[in-house]
Amino acid sequence: MVQLLGVFILAWSLLLGHSPAWAAPPSTIPPEFQALTWTYDSGENSHGPSHWGELDSEFALCDRGQQQSPINLQNANPTDIPNLDFHYRASSVQVQNNGRTLQVNYEPGSYLMLEGQRFDLLQFHFHHPSEHSLEGQNYPMELHLVHRDRQGKLAVIGIMIDRGEENQGLRGVWENLVPAYTPATETSAQINANQLLPAKATSYRYRGSLTTPPCSESVTWIVMEQPIYLSSQQITAFTQLLPANNRPRQSTHGRSLQLDSSP
C-alpha cells in the first residue's frame, strides 16, 4: 500500500509537474491549480523551497531526505559504465504551463535502456537558472527529460542549457510557449528528442530525488557533461514566461557520483 501510494504521489506530481515564484492572487488561479501550495519564493513566510517539508506530511523528504536533488556535480569517479541506449522517435507533443514550469508531453513509444531496464520517456520540462551545477558552475537553464519504468521508478536526464545559436530542435516548442495556468494543449509541433541531446553522451550519474515536492527519492539522475544551446532570444522568451524555478542545491550526504568515461 505504501508502495502504491508512493507511485500515486509520484504520478500525481508528474502530472502536475512543477509552480510560481510570484504568488498570484488566489482568485486569478484556476481551480485545478489552487491546491498547488508550494512555490519557489524565498521569503520567510513563503511556501518556497526551505519550507516545502513543512507544508504537507507527504513532503517530509524535502527536509529530511538524505538523497536529495539537485546537487553540485564534481569530484566524480570516471568509470566505464554501460552506455545510455536511446530509443527515441519523433512525436507530436502537448504543452502545458502550470505556473511552475513549461512541460512538454511526449507520445508513448520512446524510451531509454538503462542497465537492462526500459524507461519510457513521458515528458520534458525546463528550469531557469539550472538546478544542478557542474564543478560549481550554474547555467542559464536546464532541461529535464523524465522517464519511468514499469515499477514506477524514474530516470531523469538533466541537460545544461547555455547561450549560443538558436536551438532548431526546440523551435516547435518555442512557437508554443503558452502562458501560466494553461492545461495540456495539443500542438502541431513535431519534436525529436534525439535532437535535444548534446553531441557527446558522457554523463554524471547518481541516486537522487524529484527536485519538486514530494521530493521522492526514487530517481536515477543522469546529468550530461556537455551543454546544449539556446539563443539569447529563446532564453529571454522563457524567462519572461516564468519566474526563476530552480530548487537550490542540496547536500550530497556522501553519495557517490559516477562520471561515464566513454560515450
**Residues of this chain that bind Zn ion (CB under 5 A):** 144
Q: Pick between residue 82 and residue 248 the one whose CB is nearest to Zn ion.
A: 248
The position carrying cell 539550472 is 130
| Smallest separation, CB 219 to Zn ion (Å) | 10
| Smallest separation, CB 160 to Zn ion (Å) | 13
| Smallest separation, CB 127 to Zn ion (Å) | 6
Indicate the pairing of strand 228-230 with strand 154-163.
Answer: parallel
Q: Pick between residue 77 and residue 127 the one whose CB is nearest to Zn ion.
A: 127
Phi then psi dihedrals of residue 137, to 5 deg = -100, 125
| Smallest separation, CB 27 to Zn ion (Å) | 28
| Smallest separation, CB 42 to Zn ion (Å) | 18
Question: Which residue's Cβ has the minimum distance to Zn ion?
Answer: 144
| Smallest separation, CB 213 to Zn ion (Å) | 12
Q: Pick between residue 144 and residue 205 the one whose CB is nearest to Zn ion.
A: 144
Q: Pick between residue 51 and residue 100 the one whose CB is nearest to Zn ion.
A: 100
Which residues does 73 contact at the CB level (< 8 Å), separation at least 6? Answer: 132, 133, 134, 135, 204, 206, 223, 257
| Smallest separation, CB 142 to Zn ion (Å) | 7
* Beta carbons of 241 and 102 less than 8 angstroms apart: yes
Rounded CA gap, 245 and 243, in Å?
A: 6
Q: Pick between residue 51 and residue 144 the one whose CB is nearest to Zn ion.
A: 144
Assigned C-alpha cell, 217: 527519492
Assigned C-alpha cell, 211: 527536485
Radius of gyration of the chain (CA): 17
H or E element: which one contains 204?
strand 203-208
Which residues does 4 contact at the CB level (< 8 Å), separation at least 6? Answer: none
Residue type, 117: Q
Q: Pick between residue 76 and residue 143 the one whose CB is nearest to Zn ion.
A: 143
Phi then psi dihedrals of residue 156, to 5 deg = -115, 130
Q: Pick between residue 132 and residue 144 the one whose CB is nearest to Zn ion.
A: 144
Distances (CA, A) of 132 to 6, 21, 140: 25, 19, 11
